[in-house]
Amino acid sequence: MPVSRSVVIGVDSSTQSTKAVAVDTATGEVLGLGRAPHTVTGTGGARESDPDQWWTALVTAVRAAVREAGLAPEAVTALAVAGQQHGLVALGADHRPLRPALLWNDTRSAPQAAALTDRLGGPKAWLDRTGSVPVASMTAAKWQWLREHEPHHAEAAAAVRLPHDLLTERLSGEALTDPGDASGTCWYSTADGAYDPALLDLLGLDPALLPTVAPTGASRAGTLTAAAAEALGLPRTVTVAAGTGDNMAAAVGLGLGSAGLLDHPVVSLGTSGTVYAATRTRPADPALAGFAATDGTYLPLGCTLNCTLAVDRFAALLGLDREDALPGGETVVLPYLDGERTPDLPAASGLVTGLRHTTDPRAVLGAAYEGAAFTLLRALDGLLTACGLDPADPAVRDRPLRLIGGGARGRTWTETVRRLSGRPLVLPAATELVALGAAALAAGAATGEDPVTLATAWGTGAGETLPAVARDEETWGRVEGVLGAATPGLLS
């Protein structure tokens, strides 16, 4: 028999797939989960996807979640989408994609990012306006790349969207984004809370092409269009929230911002690695993305391109299972197989040093873990410093890290982060934090309640706590030394 209760749906449209969760509004219980894959194409620095497949995947995943939950369609009251950040979707006059979307990890726009930085007067000018300095990941750099390499597409664009914007518009018929995802474009001012006219002029981007910025991701975009309702098998009365970017939704799912800010910095181990924390301080550090959170606070974030995917590639090259690893010892790996974003080394490649005849292949794999974890934790130290904290202060170092993402389910990842950070770790039990954060945004749009407070009550950020172990200073120093030698001046 169908379940009779009030349910919201949270959608995580990520790089590789779409996940949808059907959640009991009152308790936060996940009643159903649906998944559908995406295809990413491109060689070298190119990474692209057909935006239409995101919609197909969303429909498949939502229908699967509702079906698994055993729900009557009328039980669903609201829906929200959290999407991969930074992707550039250019739509023509018919509102169809002019070309495949340029994804966040497409590094071809690195030269445009550097040129844009110089044209505005350097990093500080960008930090003052947007909180971030353009790198290849940012949407502004991708738009400039399109203008230079495919001007016919740039000139034909009748609308410019981020991935989550596109899906929200397909659901509700409203062109709406939120402060969190908008802050990843580098044409939105986190200082002013609006699109920056001077930056749009610099980019030759007509503001009429952009969606309206809603006050929060829990703002109500409207209800399902007739076409969306039919595709999803849901009533037209389902509320659609403005939604947000994936990192901002994960922060909501973790309850960040509801209590002491910066008490629970997050390390996320996915295709990319991210570190972030909720704060009311607007940091200005060129090594960070100075994002807005979806609730009006800030979510400074450091992102690395090479995390679980890069380590898995080393495992495949070595013919090892990903868990068949040993500490690296004198072997050091910088697993920058796709260039790197933090540190900003878009043209970098992987580096392996310290090999001997006697080197165990398992130590090489362990060194790949260490190199990826070091890069993330070094970015975390920079984030804390930018927010006015001393990472070496014992009171700061004793604060637990929330470890999330697919890698957080792996023993070697967990132990490597624990050993190199010297911090206690919290491993949230919930596995789909982005989708759960989106569900909280949907519930907020439907009920008017604060999404972070809802997620905290649901307990989605709770989980096992691992006590701290002594920090492995020897390995940290060895990796730091190799990075410094390979990139003179970077660590000065």
Is residue 141 in a domain?
Answer: yes
* pTM score of the predicted model: 0.87
What residue numbers bound the domain in which 158 lies?
A: 7-247
Report CA 233 to chain centroid distance, whole Å.
Answer: 29
Q: Check 246, 338, 344, 381 and give the catalytic one.
A: 246
User: For residue 226, what pLDDT is reported?
Assistant: 98
Instruction: Name the residue among 188, 212, 190, 184 with its Cα closest to residue 198.
Output: 188
Q: What percent of the chain has pLDDT over 90?
A: 81
Whether residue 260 is predicted with pLDDT greater than 50 in this model: the reply is no
Model confidence at 441, pLDDT cuts 50, 70, 90, reads very high
Instruction: Name the residue among 422, 318, 407 with its Cα closest to residue 363.
Output: 318
Contact in structure between 386 and 285 (CB atoms under 8 Å): yes
User: For residue 491, what pLDDT is reported?
Assistant: 56
Contact in structure between 146 and 154 (CB atoms under 8 Å): yes
Query: Which tops the pLDDT comparison, 247 or 315?
Result: 315
Residues 119, 152, 86, CA angle at the centre, nearest 5°? 55
Is residue 297 in a domain?
Answer: no
Model confidence at 282, pLDDT cuts 50, 70, 90, reads confident
Find the CATH number of the domain harbouring 41: 3.30.420.40
**What six digits make up the tokens of 454?**
């809802």
Task: Report the alpha-carbon distance of residue 19 to residue 283 in Å, rounded.
Answer: 32
> 144 CB contacts (<8 Å, ≥6 apart)?
109, 112, 113, 115, 116, 203
Query: Half-sphere exposure (CA, 13 Å, Cβ side) for 64?
Result: 15
Antiparallel, parallel or unpaired: β 298-304 and 332-334: unpaired
Instruction: Name the residue among 303, 246, 292 with its Cα closest to residue 435.
Output: 246
According to DSSP, the residues that pair with 402 across neighbouring strands are: 266, 426
Model confidence at 189, pLDDT cuts 50, 70, 90, reads very high
> 262 CB contacts (<8 Å, ≥6 apart)?
277, 278, 279, 384, 387, 389, 399
Contact in structure between 168 and 221 (CB atoms under 8 Å): yes
> 129 CB contacts (<8 Å, ≥6 apart)?
120, 189, 191, 196, 198, 199
According to DSSP, the residues that pair with 427 across neighbouring strands are: 464
Give the DSSP H or E segment for 241: strand 239-241
Whether residue 484 is predicted with pLDDT greater than 70 in this model: the reply is yes
Is residue 208 in a domain?
Answer: yes
User: For residue 283, what pLDDT is reported?
Assistant: 80
If one counts the domains in the chain, the total is 1
Task: Report the alpha-carbon distance of residue 247 to residue 319 in Å, rounded.
Answer: 33
pLDDT (mean) for 419-434:
93
370-386 pLDDT, tens digit each: 999 999 999 999 999 98
Is residue 187 in a domain?
Answer: yes
User: For residue 404, what pLDDT is reported?
Assistant: 92
Is the preceding peptide bond at 343 cis, omega within 30 degrees of 0? yes
Whether residue 149 is predicted with pLDDT greater than 90 in this model: the reply is yes
pLDDT (mean) for 46-51:
96
Task: Report the alpha-carbon distance of residue 90 to residue 113 in Å, rounded.
Answer: 19
User: For residue 4, what pLDDT is reported?
Assistant: 59
263 is catalytic: no
Task: Report the alpha-carbon distance of residue 305 to residue 336 in Å, rounded.
Answer: 8
Is residue 16 in a domain?
Answer: yes
Q: Estimate the crossing angle of helix 473-486 against helix 411-421, to 10 degrees.
A: 90
Task: Report the alpha-carbon distance of residue 255 to residue 166 in Å, rounded.
Answer: 26
238-259 pLDDT, tens digit each: 999 999 999 999 999 998 875 4
According to DSSP, the residues that pair with 279 across neighbouring strands are: 298
User: For residue 2, what pLDDT is reported?
Assistant: 46
User: For residue 388, what pLDDT is reported?
Assistant: 85
User: For residue 486, what pLDDT is reported?
Assistant: 87
Model confidence at 281, pLDDT cuts 50, 70, 90, reads confident
Q: What is the DSSP letter of 410?
A: S
> 136 CB contacts (<8 Å, ≥6 apart)?
45, 106, 107, 108, 109, 110, 113, 339, 341, 346
What are the C-alpha distances in Å from 46 to residues 156, 234, 260?
22, 37, 40
The highest-confidence range among 88-97, 131-140, 377-386, 451-460, by mean pLDDT, is 88-97
pLDDT (mean) for 163-190:
97
Counting beta carbons within 10 angstroms of the beta carbon of residue 377, is it exposed (0 to 12), middle (13 to 18) or buried (19 or more)?
Answer: buried
The highest-confidence range among 142-146, 335-339, 403-407, by mean pLDDT, is 142-146
User: For residue 345, what pLDDT is reported?
Assistant: 87
User: For residue 489, what pLDDT is reported?
Assistant: 60
Is residue 470 in a domain?
Answer: no
Is residue 281 in a domain?
Answer: no
Is residue 163 in a domain?
Answer: yes
